[in-house]
């Protein structure tokens, strides 16, 4: 693999937590430090890389909820634009289903998240399904860029999981981890200066979060569409409550599954187990879905496959950065009601 592509592929996990991380990457790839920094800067500029930062585990702090709306076809563009304009929304996709608009609302606490969803319901005059996470089985959007589907094996923290929320005095660092490193020679020193901490405290704290499982990973966060992973599908299953944990854990073990989790059912939505698969083309994704469904013992349960067809927004979460209850952008305008007939 080309050394520059390795920077995007090999350090999605295991990014060096040291004073000179880009120097470490230079030594590992045979490039020099300025070339490493410029390569990553260019990848951020052209959209292949979102940031170099962390992905926090569910429960580490803040709040988020998956939301679905059934939007009439002629209103999709208008409603999607309203949803994407909300500062709490970090993902917004159109999927093949009656409930066709899917987005994630994030915030510093549950009340803020609910306020954001309610605000969008009022602005669009559309009801929203709130599909809360009940148990994550796997959350890892790392991609092996050498294949046609995301094939990274499941990774686990070395120590016991700590699912308690981060203490309030650690939120300032968590905000930086959410936002991502600056592409400078000593990026952790820049954080240390801003937080009035020692550089070693910064890197050790991030290492502890990883070991505890509070951080799922710290590294290069790629944007899969820009790297050729144009097809993705969310498969949802209706599994009896007394079997869902066994099925969810089996699903999480399957290579090719990037996300697996249990969510609350909602009125008119009976599904409670979710799996995401990403690939370079639709047939590759279908093949993985069929394989993992059989391997996890889920073939006997009702399921639906929702391929995404448009991506309206994809940014980092704002669990620790938060957003004002009144958005900083202009107030959301009302969407004209559909004309009958």
Measuring CA to CA, which residue among 123, 91, 121, 96 is closest to residue 223?
91
Mean pLDDT over each residue of the chain, to the nearest integer: 88
3-state SS assignment for residue 218: strand
DSSP conformational letter for 269: B
| Residue 326: pLDDT band with limits 50, 70, 90 | very low
Longest CA span, the chain: 66
Residue among 138, 339, 132 at smallest CA distance from 257: 138
Q: Confidence band (pLDDT; 50, 70, 90) for 161?
A: low
Confidence of residue 59 (pLDDT cuts 50, 70, 90): confident
Give the tens place of pLDDT for each residue, 183-197: 999 999 999 999 999
DSSP string computed for 117-144: HHHHHHHHT---EEE-EEEEEEE-----
Is 76:101 a contact under the CB 8 Å cutoff?
Answer: yes
* Positive or negative torsion for Cα 36, 216, 312, 149: positive
- Residue 229 pLDDT class (50, 70, 90 cuts): confident
- Dig out the tokens for 53 from the structure: 């930062």
- 3-class secondary structure, 157: coil
Q: Report the candidate in 13, 298, 330, 42 with the shortest Cα–Cα distance to residue 150.
A: 13
Tell me which architecture the domain covering 52-324 has in CATH.
2-Layer Sandwich (3.30)
Q: Which residue has the tokens 């509070």?
A: 214
Tell me what pLDDT residue 258 has.
Answer: 87
Check pLDDT > 50 for residue 232.
yes
Per-residue model confidence (pLDDT) at position 60: 87
Task: Supply the DSSP string of 13-74, one letter for each residue.
Answer: S----SS-HHHHHHHHHT--HHHHHHHHHHHHHTTSEEEEEEEEPTTSSSEEEEEEE---GG
pLDDT of 155 higher than 70:
no
Instruction: State the DSSP string of 286-302.
Output: HHHHHHHHHHTT-TTS-
Given a cut of 70, is residue 219 above it in pLDDT?
yes
- φ and ψ at 130, to 5 degrees? -105, 115
Span 301-316, mean pLDDT?
94
Q: Supply the pLDDT for residue 322.
A: 65
Q: Is the pLDDT of residue 62 over 90?
A: no
Residue 171 phi/psi, 5-degree rounding, is -65, -40
pLDDT in tens, 134-145: 999 987 666 677
State the pLDDT at residue 118: 98
Look at 339 and 276; give whichever has higher pLDDT: 276
What share of the chain in percent tops pLDDT 90?
Answer: 71
Distance in Å from the first CA to the final CA of the chain: 56
Residue 5 has pLDDT above 90, yes or no: no
110-124 vs 76-85: helix axis angle to the nearest 10? 150
């Amino acid at each position: 693999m080309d050394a520059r592509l390795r920077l995007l592929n090999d350090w999605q996990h295991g990014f060096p937590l040291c004073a000179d991380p880009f120097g470490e990457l230079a030594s590992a790839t045979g490039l020099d430090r300025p070339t490493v920094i410029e390569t990553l800067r260019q990848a951020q500029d052209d959209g292949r890389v979102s940031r170099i930062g962390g992905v926090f585990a569910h429960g580490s702090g803040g709040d988020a909820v998956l939301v679905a709306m059934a939007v009439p076809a002629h209103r999709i563009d208008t409603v999607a634009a309203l949803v994407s304009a909300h500062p709490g929304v970090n993902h917004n996709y159109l999927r093949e289903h009656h409930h066709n608009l899917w987005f994630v609302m994030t915030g510093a606490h549950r009340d803020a998240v609910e306020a954001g969803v309610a605000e969008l319901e009022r602005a669009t005059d559309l009801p929203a399904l709130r599909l809360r996470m009940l148990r994550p089985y796997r959350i890892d959007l790392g991609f092996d860029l050498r294949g046609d589907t995301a094939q990274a094996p499941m990774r686990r923290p070395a120590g016991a999981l700590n699912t308690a929320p981060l203490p309030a005095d650690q939120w300032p660092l968590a905000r930086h981890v959410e936002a991502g490193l600056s592409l400078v020679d000593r990026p952790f020193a820049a954080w240390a200066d801003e937080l009035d901490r020692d550089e070693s405290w910064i890197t050790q704290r991030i290492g502890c979060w990883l070991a505890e499982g509070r951080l799922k990973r710290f590294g290069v966060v790629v944007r899969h569409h820009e790297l050729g992973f144009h097809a993705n599908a969310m498969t949802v299953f209706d599994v009896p409550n007394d079997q869902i944990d066994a099925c969810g854990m089996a699903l999480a073990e399957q290579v090719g599954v990037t996300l697996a989790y249990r969510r609350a059912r909602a009125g008119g939505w009976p599904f409670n187990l979710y799996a995401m698969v990403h690939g370079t083309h639709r047939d590759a994704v279908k093949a993985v879905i069929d394989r993992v469904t059989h391997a996890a013992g889920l073939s006997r349960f009702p399921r639906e496959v929702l391929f995404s067809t448009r991506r309206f927004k994809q940014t980092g979460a704002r669990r620790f950065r938060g957003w004002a209850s009144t958005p900083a952008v202009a107030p959301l305008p009302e969407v004209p009601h559909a004309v009958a007939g």
